[in-house]
Amino acid sequence: MKKPSPTEREALLIALLTQLFSGEITEGKLLRTLRKELLNMSQTEYAALVGVSRRTLSDVERDTGSPTLAVLNAIFKPFGLRAGLLPRSPTLMKKMLAGEMPGVG
């Protein structure tokens, strides 16, 4: 598998985050796709890289279990991401992404 260029990496990350924020994919699907597409690593390899068990990584990718904030930050760190607060409402999220929030800016 050819290693993606920095531009390709950024484009994939933006596309996947857009899907995540619009509710099309889950955090687990995001992580699995990034791990495979950007790093071409197995769960075992990636788990060792970020310092979690393979089982924990598997649970996160399957959207099961209740990972701590520290675990989420550790597993998303290699992609320049961290856990944060986002609106639960898809409508509010779309407005926020479109820059339609009154009184902001």
Provide the pLDDT for residue 101: 61
Residue with tokens 């769960």: 43
SS3 call for 36: helix
Residue with tokens 């990718």: 61
Q: How confident is the model at residue 104 (pLDDT cuts 50, 70, 90)?
A: low
Q: Is the confidence at residue 86, as pLDDT, over 90? A: no
Q: Using one digit for the tens of pLDDT, what is the confidence trace for 1-57?
A: 677 888 999 999 999 998 988 889 999 999 999 999 999 999 999 999 999 999 999
